[in-house]
Structure 1
């Protein structure tokens, strides 16, 4: 494959640079050079044509060599107006992808490490998402409206906020949780992700179920669980349960809650669930599962603001 890539590069350079190489020569030399170029071009093109790739890719190489791809410059030269502007988000993703490709190039050059194209794209998306989460966390948060702000639990009780997030067109689900005491001090945080075609609602339910299990395994008592999913909180208290995957998860949650009357589940607005939301959004940036007992730099501004 490396040899094929070299052939492609040499071929494209040959075709695009043939005219420039012949500038300033005599007529006889130009004719000889043209014959030589045509002979080399034919040899290299035959080599490329024998490559085991789809015909449409061979056609793409030929069109690229002939400068007849419908690029913006070619379209404009034919009087065809085109809007190639990208949104701010698209520009950021393109920049991150180029950065990720450069890292893979250096890894191959200096460490002989191969990187798959899917990993290059995934790394770019994850790095951009983590950076965006950090920027949002750094932004000052003014909780002037206490109705929608996170509220500390009563003395002697613990509050656990839970949230979920979807990635890669819902092919990856992540969730996060945060246990804090009556002073707002972090006791335990956890994030996890899994590859599945489940819904965000199911991920919210799985996050709540895991949070209940974590509380039980750590011997915690008097826990107030909060979720920003109204459907989930209503299903926990409802008389009937849906007969589907979501219903199965709700059933598991209710069984554990019945054994622990000091555990309660309630609904809060998203504005009061920011910490769990940020943990869930950053779940892909950590091992699965990821448990921590100290405030991370990305969460510090949020937690500090809510403590005060």
Structure 2
């Protein structure tokens, strides 16, 4: 039996900067920009946030076909083991918020930038066990709607929900944000309505 020879491979460190001539693929497509739902549909964008100290929060925003914010809520969750759980809580609370707006529409789109949470809502999916109970609670509430759709977007199209999730860190009780909004939030609303590309 011959001797094993050490492979002559150089494995770069994760801290090693990429070579100057290395070009990463550019993300493109419609899910880089927020798009309004149809006239008789509401869209819920949700997100989670987790700080280095483990503190997590969720946020969600519900808008109509004109991009008008009908509801914006956020809340600190305390120490959470994963960002995935914070994202799933954002979805669950967004579903509850949408239920309270049924006088507007019972047709809903739920949109988030965490593909694992979106995929977990598929009837045939077996999502991550860490969010199984949250997903079960979310699924049990879907009977309140006439039509439901779950779709993934990149974080650039989810910036309003991301704003709310970060704002949630300073609110141990549920923040129900009403106008007048701060200039940063208002600017993000305007950019989404106009279909501005990400900065």
Question: Which of the five TM-score ranges fits, normalised by the shorter chain?
Answer: 0.7 to 0.9
Q: Residue 224 of structure 1: which of 105, 109, 123 is its match? A: 109
Query: Structure 2 CA distance, aligned partners of 1:275 and 1:234?
Result: 21
In structure 2, what is the equivalent of residue 141 of structure 1?
none
Residue 202 of structure 1 pairs with residue 95 of structure 2: no
Give secondary structure in 2 for the equivalent of 1:154: coil
Structure 1: gaps spanning 5 or more residues: 1-143
The verdict on how the C-alpha distance between 1:244 and 1:187 changes in structure 2, with shifts beyond 3 A counting, is same
Q: 1:299: which partner in 2? A: 185
Post-superposition Cα deviations, 1:35-60, rounded to whole Å, max 9, x if no partner, equal: xxxxxxxxxxxxxxxxxxxxxxxxxx
More helix per residue: 1
1:1-38 CA-to-partner distances (Å, cap 9, x unmatched) read xxxxxxxxxxxxxxxxxxxxxxxxxxxxxxxxxxxxxx
SS of alignment partner, residue 285 of structure 1: coil
Distance 2:185 2:168 in 1: 13
Asked if 2 retains the 8 angstrom alpha-carbon contact of 1:257 and 1:264, the reply is: no
- Structure 2 equivalent of residue 177 of structure 1: 60
Q: Which residue of 1 aligns with 2:152?
A: 267
Deviations 1:256-275 (CA, angstroms, capped at 9, x unpaired): 12442422221111111011
- The answer to whether the 8 A contact 1:186-1:295 is kept is no
Residue number in structure 2 paired with 1:252: 137
Provide the secondary structure at the position in 2 that maps to 1:275.
helix
Q: Which runs of 4+ in 1 moved over 6 A?
A: none
Paired position in structure 2 for 1:160: 44
Larger RCO (CA under 8 A, 6+ residues apart): 2
Could you say which structure has the larger radius of gyration? 1
Matched residue of 2:34: which SS?
coil
> How many angstroms apart in 1 are the aligned matches of 2:146 and 2:81?
30
Q: Is 1:150 aligned to residue 21 of structure 2?
A: no
Q: CA separation in 2, counterparts of 1:174 and 1:265?
A: 21
User: Normalising to structure 1: TM-score of the pair?
Assistant: 0.49
Instruction: Give the aligned length.
Output: 164
Q: Which of these residues, 168, 174, 182, is aligned with residue 289 of structure 1?
A: 174
How far is 1:229 from its partner? Answer: 0.5
Q: For residues 81 and 97 of structure 2, what CA distance do their matches in structure 1 show?
A: 22
SS at match of 1:183: coil
The 8 Å contact of residues 76 and 170 in structure 2, kept in 1 or not, is answered as no
Task: Indicate how the Cα distance of structure 1 residues 218 and 204 shifts in structure 2: closer, same or farther if over 3 A, else same.
Answer: same
Structure 2, unpaired ranges of 5+: 1-27, 195-199
1:168: how far off?
Answer: 4.0
For the aligned residues, what is the CA RMSD? 2.1
The TM-score normalised by the length of structure 2 is 0.75
